[in-house]
Chains A and B, each alone.
Chain A
Amino acid sequence: MGIAQDITQQPIIYRVVDLVKEYRMGEVTVAALRGITLDVREGEFLVILGHSGSGKSTLLNIMGGLDTPTSGQVFYCDQELTGYTERQLTEYRRHHIGFVFQFYNLMPSLTARENVEMATEISEHPLDPAEALGLVGLQSREDHFPSQLSGGEQQRVAIARAVAKGPHILLCDEPTGALDVATGKIVLQVLADVNVRTRTTLVVITHNAVIGELADRVVRMQDGHVVEIKVNAARKNVDQVEW
């Protein structure tokens, strides 16, 4: 399809250099990241693959400005995130990042549309909430509360919420982890569509190797190290994979 070639030509949006994260758990120090170096290019679909405990979530959290590293640096568009204050990190998340989580984290007291509006209210260049819901195919359910939606639908609302802010990057932590295969596929399709249509950089972490086949590149992590970076010659379509 030729996308892979284009990706390597794209400017670098994230530069991760020698990133180390250690947690002190009582007497012992546990290293979650042991020196990660990685570039993310604008517009690419990157999958970070790893088992539980490989450090992939920690990496995502630091990239998303939720957590700070023990040492090493993260540059976002040549700005050093690792030097940001709490307030600057909040600003950064607010205007540049869209998050999608395994457990959706929608506001139970707001309807689907209101959940999306909540995000657009604080953004500088928001999408129209209806458009965002259209993107995930949920216009018809916009007045439903989360408790009235299925898991897959809730996740799609979460994606719409993330996308509606008009972020530069979508960071997704096991977005299909709580869903059955069929629903998971729909959600991945939505994410891939968003990536293509809005040119939003998409980073997905998962333990499911199959999902890697949908991406431009796959970073495999193990024990806090990057063990392999694989560039897919061509991205597969969701209906071409099975798990």
Chain B
Amino acid sequence: MISPLTKKTLRTLYRNRGQVLAVAAVVLCGTACYIALSSCHRNLMLTRDTYYAENRFADFEIQLERAPESVLFRVQEIPGVRQVRGRITEEVKLEAPGLDEAKTGRIVSMPETRRSVINNVVLTQGRYFDTGAVNEVILSERFAQANGLGIGESLYATIDGRKHTLKIVGLGASPEYVYIIRSMTSLVPEPERFAILWVPEKFAEDAKNMQAACNNIVGTLDDPESAERVLDAAADLLKPYGVYAKTSREHQVSNRFISDEIKGLGVQARVLPTIFLGVAALVIFIVLNRMVRNERTQIGLLKAYGHGNLTIALHYMQYALAQSLIGAAGGFIVGQWLASGMIRLYVRFYTFPILRARMYPDVLVESMGIAVFFSLLGAVLAAYRAARIHPAESMRPGAPQRGRRTFFERYPALWRRLSFTWKMIVRNVSRNGFRAGLNVFVVMISTAQLIVGFYAIDAITYVIDFQYKMTQRQDATVSLFFERGKDALLETARLPHVREVEPLLQYPFEMRNGWHKKDAVIVGMSREGNLQRLLDTEDRPVDVGESGLVLSSALARSLHVGAGDEVELKPLMGKVTKEKRVPVSRVVEQYFGMSGYMNIEALSRVLDEPYTMNAVLVRTDRGTASSLHDEVKDVPVVASVELREDALKNLQDTLATSMRIMGVTSIVFAGVIAFSIIYNVTMVSLGERERELASLRVLGFTQREVGAILFNENFLTGALGVLLGIPAGMAMVWGMMHAFDMELFRFPFYIAPRTYVISTALTVTFIVFANLAVRWKINRLDMVETLKSRD
């Protein structure tokens, strides 16, 4: 048996279904966001942790020149170390009958027979190595798929200038290569362009001539917290064997990217739903407050019949609760659907061979809980007011609405020019300040949200342009296995279609200033270079000078040096072990993190060479760059040829989906919030002024003219909202930029003019839609009925 009061709630809900659905839509977005983001956050964490645990992802990794396997026992004995494994890893050039160009990859040695080792490989297809087989390889699955390579086919890997044949026996993935990038300047993972080759130890030993030796040590720890201490101890121990780099799991590139993403998801899972549900609470507050005022007499009557204060209060809470439950129910479905879509996107972006996606009942319960909490928060004041109504007083009509002079009337010349419509609007806005304020606020949020959403797209586009159109203007980069002299430049220049060449020397160093240390690459470039340019974030070319070192600001900060200071450089490759002191000539702001720059001649001297390079930058005749692949295919010293076209296309392909999703999400979020609030506030306003507006219709005002009174008010508050929204959006972008100011990458503060235009246009569209939704009600104002009696 439904109580009469509940029936009243149900009927009111039905009568106000438009408004109810608009509020429910906001709640839906809030809960859906919460469910999708929280579930995705947990799923991603679960997938990562399961994947790491099942395949024994290392706690630390040390890269060195060459160490005998016997030294592993001594590393093992460092307190806190649980287990270690020595490996051979090496960058290689890859060719295959199916590939139209040479690719690069990394070989990683694995035990001859399959067993559970640290940084194990997961076979997704095929088999492990045959006993005794040497020339077999397990290839990273994403690379194989993207390049049309299958089991049974052969690959040619060039290692130290010698070409080896490898037969693909399996496809796989590994926890250390979830986020596969070639260099730290890559903007997106490139699992299709960079191959991981797991090979039998025997093969790697022969190819690298490293029998019973290794150049890479991975290990697990009893306590991951002790990583830094263990690494320091190991580095001391391994000093004679040339330690290039030591990395804890926390700083491991692939893990770092994923963990940052997971952390970001966790923050978003809290922020976005709060915005939505907070907004929902505000609308509920306004709607219920109005409802209580409208139903004063009814409330008084109910009390006169003996209903208690609590019953009355609960009655209004019930109304709010119903709206949020409708929204939450929709949010469940949409949230689950989004969650499964999102995790699939993530798994595609990263390389996870496993997917742990679950439904989390506690997330559903939480989402329901917060939806209920926020709706009750919005309802509580109105419910309290309802409970406080005195039965006898409520039977008398409420005090008449007061007209009031406004600030603008101090300027009569201006005021007199206003049409009465605008006079009504201005007075109404000043009378219902809170409601008008809410409209302004919501439009502001909507505009700002759109700006932030589109900013992400602007920033990425800008950085791509910066990187590939302004900084790196070569059509192709020919990378070499070894450092070579000027002859490499001359030989490349002689190739057909080549119009311009430029040398490049990229070399990793350990940089030191006192006890501040950092491993980073120094780029040696020719001073009169035209292809590769060094630019700061203001797009100004920076001269590398004759001899000094130019540091990116992030690197300078981490080394605590400035122009005029000196840093000690220790090469991390090759035979040169002598350390050199180099003065820092300049510090420049850069988008991409941690690099140093020097005149290529000066950098050669640091390496005790007269003039050396390990890459040649090439500009070719238009449309002929791809022919370079064929030209250098059989040149052993060439590691790879990277075409700018390809790199750019890969980047755009990878980002296109994310950008589209980002854009659509911003529009949906901003749209739902703006529409729902403006629609509801306008409906409340209309409900309050039905009589007033109906009498205008009686006086002969057209529907359009009457509508204009409400709509122009929305456009007025909207204009104010957009005006505030633009700086608010800029401030949010500024905040976001600093929040994401990471070591590796930095966002430019660049908002395309187009973004302001589109954001404003969209916001205006939302207001127009809200107005249209109210319009039918205005067109049906019942003149006879509303004028008959008072209340």
Contacts and interface: CB of A to CB of B under 8 A. Distances in A.
Contact of A109 (B428, B700, B701): B428
Contacts of B702: 87, 90, 94
Contacts of B691: 105
Contacts of A61: 783-784
B701 A122 contact: yes
B423, B698, B705 — most chain A CB neighbours (10 Å):
B698
A94 B701 contact: yes
Interface string B389-417: 00000000000111110000000000000
**B contact patch SS:** helix
A119 B699 contact: yes
Interface stretch (A8-16, A110-118, A130-138): A110-118
Residue from the set B427, B692, B700, B789 with the largest chain A CB neighbour count within 10 Å: B700
Contacts of A165: 699-700
Contacts of B401: 108-109, 147
Interface in A51-101: 57, 61, 64, 66-67, 87, 90-95, 97, 99, 101
Interface residues of A, number: 35
Given A109-B428, A122-B701, A147 B403 contact: yes
B784 A66 contact: yes
A193 interface: no
Interface string B768-791: 000000000000000110011110
B424 interface: yes
A146 interface: yes
Contacts of B420: 107, 110, 114, 117-118, 121
B700 A91 contact: yes
Contacts of A145: 402-404
Contacts of B695: 101, 105
B704 to A, nearest CB: 10
Contacts of A173: 787
Contacts of A147: 400-403
Nearest to A178: B790
B419 interface: yes
Contacts, number: 87
Given A105-B692, A107-B692, A122 B700 contact: yes
A176 to B, nearest CB: 15
A72 to B, nearest CB: 17
A93 B698 contact: yes
A127 to B, nearest CB: 15
B570 interface: no
A220 to B, nearest CB: 22
A61 B703 CA distance: 18
B786 to A, nearest CB: 9
A105 B431 contact: no
Given A110-B427, A121-B420, A101 B787 contact: yes
Contacts of B48: none
Among B420, B702, B703, B790, chain A packs the most CB atoms within 10 A around the CB of: B420
A146 B783 CA distance: 21
A108 B400 contact: yes
Contact of B431 (A90, A109, A111, A122): A109
Interface in B699-751: 699-703, 705
Nearest to B693: A107
Given A101-B695, A110-B420, A147-B402, A95 B428 contact: no
Interface in A31-59: 57
Given A101-B787, A145-B403, A95 B424 contact: no
A145 B423 CA distance: 13
B305 to A, nearest CB: 26
Given A103-B790, A107-B692, A109-B427, A90 B400 contact: no
Nearest to B791: A103
Contacts of B402: 108, 145, 147
A99 B423 contact: no
Contacts of B788: 57
B619 interface: no
B202 interface: no
Contacts of A122: 699-701, 705
A190 to B, nearest CB: 19
Contacts of B790: 103
Contacts of A119: 699
B697 interface: yes
A95 B423 contact: no
13 contacts: A87-B702, A92-B700, A93-B698, A95-B700, A101-B787, A103-B790, A107-B424, A108-B692, A109-B401, A109-B423, A122-B701, A146-B403, A147-B403
Given A109-B403, A161-B699, A165-B699, 15 more contacts: A66-B783, A94-B699, A99-B699, A105-B692, A107-B692, A108-B402, A109-B431, A119-B699, A121-B419, A121-B420, A122-B700, A122-B701, A147-B401, A147-B403, A165-B700
Interface of A: 57, 61, 64, 66-67, 87, 90-95, 97, 99, 101, 103, 105, 107-111, 114, 117-119, 121-122, 145-148, 161, 165, 173
Interface of B: 400-404, 419-420, 423-424, 427-428, 431, 691-692, 695-703, 705, 783-784, 787-790
The list of the 5 closest CB pairs from A to B, nearest first, reads A94-B700, A145-B403, A105-B695, A93-B700, A109-B427
